[in-house]
Amino acid sequence: MNSKERIVSFPRMGNIHIPISAFLREMSANIILPQANSKQTLTIGARYSPEMICLPYKMNLGNYVQALEQGANTLLMFQAPGTCRLGSYAKMAENKLRELGYDFEMIVFDLYGGKFKEVMGKFSLATGNKSVTKAIAGVKICLAKFDALDKIERELLFIRPREKNFATAEKVYNKGKDLIDKARTPEEVKTAVNYTMTEFKQIYLDKSKEILKIYLTGEFFVLLDPYVNMDIEKELGKLGVEVDRQIMLSEWVGQSLIPGWLRKKETHKERAIRTSRRYMTRIVGGECVETLGDTVYAAKKKLDGVIHATPFNCIPEIISQCILPHVSLKESIPVISLLMDEHTGKVGMITRLEAFVDLMRRNKRKKQKGFAVAGPA
């Protein structure tokens, strides 16, 4: 297969398609994006997946089938070591897709093997373009979009529980996201962000609302994809809760690719390893250490609670889920774990969130009066 024949695709996960597509366009790649994650995607993925495999794999496999049906012939995937089954996703998916009769090339990125050099090499292989100039331009626009998307998303998370007319901020955010997607240079990305932040400032906030603040932590795919987590951030916003999600796209990419000696501050993972040391002394893969460290850090920052969102049967998160009740009691912070799979119902999740928010409000008022508070939910 030569470079002119390549039609590249990759799985959807939240907004990751925006910066990655920008990079691939700079490398002159022909791209096909599967549709945004939906019930159809999950149905396809679950049909061809082992029953007990976790939800992200099923979504990825569904994406691949959709992309191949649309004409893609080069699929991108990344892997990592540890007890998380992410390390075997690519091979499992490739074997299943070939079993189904699809003809394609699978290019796998090892984020822990060479980091930046590995990624650049695999993107050059996927696109057939070895131009250093194009690669540098692609990196610049890609990183600019990662940062821009996180900036407007953080503002959305702050405004959403405080706005007078709910969903106004959502409209501003969606428009800003589209502008960032259409931007073709870092300068245009900056203009899109400035415009969006100006629009956010026009939104009327209800300063009389009692706002709770929580950390949302857990497995990164569930945290970053609104369909998979059933719009948990929006539902919490409706309940007057400000969400501080502990995994953002730009930070996740930065700590995966940028060497330690180039970083200017402690990464999320480094902070988690430090703060979780009392409860876990080794890294077991996935986001287990991050989940525990985030919970300890939330207590230190005197937040109102922690929501742990994870796919059903995720091995590293099963470990953290077993330890979290102990952390919750020792650190005096309410924690709830929400498990997601194709059978999880949104109504049931919202009911649990409402109960947890009521618990946090009672705890907050008890704290203000000097009483002891409840632990895990």
Q: Counting Cβ atoms within 10 Å, is residue 55 exposed (0-12), middle (13-18) or buried (19+)?
A: buried
Closest CA relative to residue 226, chosen from 10, 11, 13: 13
Average pLDDT over residues 323-338: 96
For 193, phi then psi, to 5°, come to -65, -45
Classify domain 209-377 by CATH number: 3.40.50.11900
pLDDT in tens, 41-61: 999 999 999 988 989 999 999
Tokens of 167: 């969903």
| N-to-C CA span, the chain | 54
Q: Say if strands 212-218 and 305-311 run parallel, antiparallel, or are unpaired.
A: parallel
Identity of the highest mean pLDDT range in 73-77, 187-191, 318-322: 187-191
pLDDT in tens, 199-229: 999 999 999 999 999 999 999 999 999 999 9
pLDDT in tens, 111-126: 665 566 667 777 777 7
Q: What is the pLDDT of residue 375?
A: 58
Average pLDDT over residues 136-153: 94
Higher pLDDT, 33 or 5: 33
Q: Model-level pTM greater than 0.95?
A: no
- Say if CB 233 and CB 14 are below 8 A apart: no
Question: In 10 A of CB 262, how many CB atoms?
Answer: 9
pLDDT in tens, 310-330: 999 888 899 999 999 999 999
Task: Answer whether residue 263 shows pLDDT above 70.
Answer: no
Q: What is the pLDDT of residue 374?
A: 55
Task: Answer whether residue 236 shows pLDDT above 90.
Answer: yes
Residue 35 DSSP symbol: P
Q: What is the pLDDT of residue 3?
A: 47
| DSSP character string of 53-97 | S-HHHHHHHHHHHHHHHHT--EEEEEE--SSSTHHHHHHHHHHHH
Tokens of 129: 């373009």
| DSSP character string of 209-259 | S--EEEEEEE-HHHHH-TTTTTTHHHHHHHTTEEEEES--HHHHHHHHHS-
**Computed from CA positions of residues 66, 149, 180, 143, in that sequence, does the dihedral angle turn out positive or negative?**
negative
| 3-class SS of residue 107 | strand
Same fold, 3-128 and 209-377: yes
Q: What is the pLDDT of residue 373?
A: 60
For 166, phi then psi, to 5°, come to -60, 140
Q: Where are the domains of the chain?
A: 3-128, 145-159+163-207, 209-377
d(CA 162, CA 239): 10
Class of domain 3-128: alpha beta
Q: What is the pLDDT of residue 330?
A: 95
Average pLDDT over residues 81-101: 84
Q: What is the pLDDT of residue 326?
A: 96
- Say if CB 311 and CB 56 are below 8 A apart: yes
Across the chain, mean pLDDT equals 89
- Say if CB 66 and CB 32 are below 8 A apart: no
